[in-house]
Chain A
């Protein structure tokens, strides 16, 4: 959703997200499919730490086929949307929404991909550059994010624009 909010899309077929179903674990395999469809285009996967763990086993498929496919993980150590709803509608009772995560950069390396861990904002740019320039293997970029950051604005389910939540 952050990608949808902040990425200004200029051309058709350049933004692919699971819209109606909202399936976690969709982003990386969809990027894999897009890369096979358009091998000459720059394809990136932008995923969450929760979703990526649902389909990350196919990193090996990307490695096997030598795909130049950067995978950026916005890692907030939580099932972000669940945590956000719990913040707003369940008085901050974070039932089963906080994640203990593996080291994704090392997982990438174990699969034969490149792995980068980003812990500070000033490291983001060079990590992005490295990932986008990496040829012939996927590059897993694990970006540590603020666990409290919400995806806003938000119109709560079944309400109207007048009830829009603009800030925390």
Chain B
């Protein structure tokens, strides 16, 4: 884990007092993550943080007039630049106003870090003024969240937040800091590595599955690429374009995939799904092999599952792995990020699935099993491997 993380950059301003309060620690930790802009609105529980920001000439705080805007702006910042967007709010109503934006970031896999003030430690759980159980509320809508109970833990929490937000399938992370933790003096260690047992985003495709996928694509009569937002978040546009130009396979895009490939390219059919064009929808519906990249088989994309791309696999495609009782429904799977689909490896993932009954793909690929003629959910890396194999 430590090896995968980018080493924290030491602050340019060399000599700082070794002892600082939690809020100053937070600002320094943000600086080391390269944060230049954050969007937020102050309040009682985040006043120490704003006091520390007052001295931070190199971090620009954009005062918004409603915290929802801070969260949405962080998403806009992240999606336009590829960097992590940051928003802040105070406890209680400030934090709850972030919820819509955080949920949006979760749904669209946008890397943002939300920093919220919390009521002081002694009154947590007492229905204190402006108290809300923000880590509880945001459990299903964040990739990870944490309530920091000691100032000295802030650097680790911030490193973890940024690392989790931008790696694997990106998403929102929330760091909740009680006011007295922000005020507490500590001697922070900015180089301490957070421990994340079990979080190892898979980035390499499985060679066997890549070969299977390449075989199926080669044998296909009417193959199509179904490309989504994962192409954009993983920067895989050149690989996608290369695959398409090498093979001549046409591409359809999801709403989130707009920009994944030049829509004026002759092989790009543009957006399909609920409001996509008729031709793009018919193209994927009549395909015999679908290469699904950086997508999640959203219900507005598939429509009624049993009628989504129902065409049987070409009999010439061999070495398929049947995933259901129906012989014409076959699936090749390469569960891989970063461009991709699943898993969003976090400790909340299991709980979230239980709670919501599961987003269809996250709940184990059932949509693929039941829906398509032949769908391959692959990562960008797998895709370039497929490209060189086909």
Interface residues of A (CB under 8 A from B): 1, 4-5, 7-21, 23, 25-26, 29-34, 36-38, 41, 43, 54-55, 57-58, 60-61, 64-65, 151-155, 157-162, 164, 166
Select one of B62, B80, B255, B304 contacting A160, CB under 8 A.
B304
Shortest distance between the CB of A19 and any CB in chain B (Å): 4
Q: Is the CB of B304 within 8 A of A8?
A: no
The number of residue pairs between A and B whose CB atoms lie closer than 8 Å in the complex comes to: 186
A–B complex contacts, Cβ < 8 Å, 19 sampled: A5-B271, A5-B276, A8-B270, A9-B262, A12-B235, A13-B82, A15-B258, A16-B75, A18-B107, A20-B107, A21-B103, A29-B72, A33-B85, A57-B66, A154-B274, A155-B303, A157-B299, A157-B300, A164-B278
- As a 0/1 sequence over residues 278 to 307 of chain B, the CB contacts with chain A under 8 angstroms (1 = contact) are 100110010000000000001110011001
Shortest distance between the CB of A133 and any CB in chain B (Å): 22
> Which residue, A10, A11, A37, has most C-beta atoms of chain B within 10 A?
A37
Interface: B29 (CB within 8 A): no
Q: How far is the CA of A52 from the CA of B103 in the complex (A)?
A: 19
Interface residues of B (CB under 8 A from A): 37, 39, 60, 62-66, 68-70, 72-83, 85, 100-101, 103-104, 107-108, 229, 231-232, 235, 237, 254-256, 258-260, 262-264, 270-271, 273-278, 281-282, 285, 298-300, 303-304, 307-308
Q: Is the interface of A mostly helix, strand, loop or mixed?
A: loop
Q: Is the CB of A30 within 8 A of B72?
A: yes
Q: Is the CB of B72 within 8 A of A9?
A: no
Contacts of A155 in B (CB 8 A): 273-275, 281, 303
Contacts of B82 in A (CB 8 A): 13
Shortest distance between the CB of A126 and any CB in chain B (Å): 26
Select one of B39, B63, B264, B271 contacting A4, CB under 8 A.
B271
Q: Is the CB of B259 within 8 A of A61?
A: no
Shortest distance between the CB of B300 and any CB in chain A (Å): 8
Contacts of B63 in A (CB 8 A): 61, 64
| CB-CB nearest 10 A-B residue pairs | A20-B107, A33-B76, A30-B76, A33-B73, A160-B307, A29-B72, A34-B80, A33-B77, A37-B81, A29-B69
Contacts of A65 in B (CB 8 A): 62
Shortest distance between the CB of A1 and any CB in chain B (Å): 5
Q: Is the CB of B281 within 8 A of A30?
A: no
> Which residue, A1, A14, A31, A55, has most C-beta atoms of chain B within 10 A?
A55
Contacts of A36 in B (CB 8 A): 37, 39, 60, 62, 73, 77
Q: How far is the CA of A162 from the CA of B308 in the complex (A)?
A: 10
Q: Is the CB of A16 within 8 A of B285?
A: no
Contacts of B275 in A (CB 8 A): 1, 4-5, 151-155
Q: Is the CB of B72 within 8 A of A33?
A: yes
Q: Is the CB of A61 within 8 A of B69?
A: yes
> Which residue, A7, A29, A158, has most C-beta atoms of chain B within 10 A?
A29
Shortest distance between the CB of A163 and any CB in chain B (Å): 8
Q: Is the CB of A14 within 8 A of B259?
A: yes
Q: How far is the CA of A8 from the CA of B277 in the complex (A)?
A: 12
Select one of B79, B104, B256, B258 contacting A34, CB under 8 A.
B79
Q: Are A33 and B65 also in contact (CB < 8 A) when A159-B303, A162-B307 are?
A: no
Shortest distance between the CB of B285 and any CB in chain A (Å): 5
Smallest Cβ-Cβ distance to B66: which chain A residue? A57
Smallest Cβ-Cβ distance to B300: which chain A residue? A157
Contacts of A37 in B (CB 8 A): 37, 76-78, 80-81, 83, 85
Q: Is the CB of A13 within 8 A of B270?
A: no
Q: Is the CB of A32 within 8 A of B73?
A: yes
Contacts of A43 in B (CB 8 A): 80
Q: How far is the CA of A1 from the CA of B273 in the complex (A)?
A: 11
Contacts of A38 in B (CB 8 A): 80-81
Q: Is the CB of B69 within 8 A of A9?
A: no
Contacts of A33 in B (CB 8 A): 39, 72-78, 80, 85
Shortest distance between the CB of B198 and any CB in chain A (Å): 25
